[in-house]
Amino acid sequence: MQTQKKSITILGSTGSIGTQTIETACHLGLKIDALAANSNSSLLEEQLRRTGAKICALADEKAAKDLKERIPDLGVKILAGKDAAAEVAKTSPSDTLVNAIIGFSGLVPTIEAIKSGKNIAIANKETLVAAGELVMPLAREKNVSVLPIDSEHCAIHECLRGAEKSEIRKLIITGSGGPFFGLKKEELENVTPEMALKHPNWTMGKGITVYSSTLVNKGLELIEAMRLFDVPEDKIDVIINRQSIVHSLVEFADGSVLAQLATPDMKLCIQYALTYPLRVEGLTKPLDLASVGTLNFYNIDNDAFPSVEMARRAVRTGGINPCVYNASNETCVDLFLERKIKYTDIFTLIDSACIKFGKGNGVLSLDEIIKADAEAREYVKELVG
Ligand code: NDP
Ligand code: MG
């Protein structure tokens, strides 16, 4: 089997996407040079033993010390601390970096990897939402690719193969609608973390499971699509496909619509990003259309789930506002999981933060984005008290 990529570094290797990336990379026979996680030293130890990676990072210093004691036999270089993932991204010898970190902390490592000339396979959508306007031009300048792992963007990428930009009428992002599809605004008041952590079709990390349920994930994905494909917000629709079989679509100028369909399985998207432009045998079960039977599509109820409309306002405002949308969402999800706010407070707090911060001073730099992220988090926490 021929694959283009020779060796990879995986950030967030112990998470949902990270573990599936290791499975996929082992299936493809790719060399894994380096791994990074936050604090899960026991799983990282297993992964280092399995993959033979020689460099690793843990953001949590205590966990790094624990790891050091566990693997004196492996000769692995261990980096520790909040900048460790960025250091690995910069110095590992890989040609490709898979970014599967959750949240804004994936941003600086992505920038370092691009600066060091690595191609990027990105699951970490928060980076593209908060700073896509910096990251994508930097990637072009350094002549590296940024390929999406997010299933909708992977689908759009597939539908756009061979297409000219002028041929695109619109991108159509699909979503499952989440566990609360069909509920009205008032019925969302009493949603608990346990209820929000049950996704109908996908098994994912905690954070993204909650932001899938609020449809903020679709708002983030709308902005992610704008940055990846350089298409304006008003040419991107979002629609519900309850079965999560149609992963997204592209409508072309002549009215023709291409869709990508597959069994819902992130390993397919990870493999696509790692073998592009080739397609090879993978780990995903073939799609059995007869057993799927029916595909249903619905518009979003913007009254109960204002998240996509808020994302549209954030990009229309521009500047730091998409970053604030992301930061306030991440903070709200943590507060909700800690039972400090109600489910529906997530919507009002994101809205309040976006209104409060506006577009910023108009100069979008990395420092400005890091500052906006921190200030938006602080603002939400202060509002909650
Ligand atoms: P998880 O919560 O399952 O995993 C997050 C990973 O990031 C863990 O390995 C965690 O380490 C690590 N991590 C957190 N902070 C740091 C840090 N500062 N430095 C290094 N590593 C860190 O998340 P998911 O895998 O679900 O999601 C990852 C990304 O992929 C997110 O951006 C999400 O939106 C996106 N995504 C996920 C999908 C899915 O199916 N899961 C689908 C589409 C997109 P530790 O285990 O030690 O805490
Ligand atoms: Mg997605």
Ligand nearest to the CA of 266: 1
Q: Hey, what are 137's tokens?
A: 């031009």
Percent of the chain with pLDDT over 70: 99
Four-residue CA torsion sign, 268, 171, 231, 320: negative
> Tell me: the pLDDT tens digits for 313-343?
999 999 999 999 999 999 999 999 999 999 9
Q: What lines the ligand 1 site, CB under 6 Å?
A: 11-18, 36-40, 59, 85, 100-102, 105, 123-126, 150, 202, 204-208, 266
Confidence band for 345, pLDDT divided at 50, 70 and 90: very high
Q: Are 12 and 57 in contact (CB under 8 A)?
A: no
The domain made up of 7-148 has a fold known as: Rossmann fold (3.40.50)
User: For the chain, what are the domain ranges?
Assistant: 7-148, 170-264+301-384
Q: Which atom of ligand 1 is nearest to the CA of 57?
A: 20
Confidence band for 307, pLDDT divided at 50, 70 and 90: very high
| 170-264+301-384 shares the fold of 7-148 | no
Q: Which atom of ligand 1 is nearest to the CA of 202?
A: 40
Ligand nearest to the CA of 105: 1
For residue 1, the model assigns a pLDDT of: 46
Q: Hey, what are 146's tokens?
A: 């940024």
Domain range 170-264+301-384, its CATH number among 3.30.1490.20, 3.40.50.150, 3.40.50.720, 1.10.1740.10: 1.10.1740.10
Cβ atoms < 10 Å from Cβ of 340: 13
| Position 281 pLDDT exceeds 60 | yes
pTM of the full predicted structure?
0.97
**Best mutation site among 9, 10, 17, 224 for ligand 1 pocket (most ligand atoms within 8 Å of CB):** 17
Mean pLDDT, all residues of the chain: 96
| Position 3 pLDDT exceeds 50 | no
> Tell me: the pLDDT tens digits for 31-75?
999 999 999 999 999 999 999 999 999 999 999 999 999 999 999
| Position 28 pLDDT exceeds 50 | yes
Opening angle at CA 5, ends 3 and 8, nearest 5: 135
CA 344–ligand 2 middle distance (angstroms): 22
Four-residue CA torsion sign, 85, 91, 92, 97: positive
> Tell me: the pLDDT tens digits for 137-191?
999 999 999 999 999 999 999 999 999 999 999 999 999 999 999 999 999 999 9
Q: Which atom of ligand 1 is nearest to the CA of 44?
A: 47
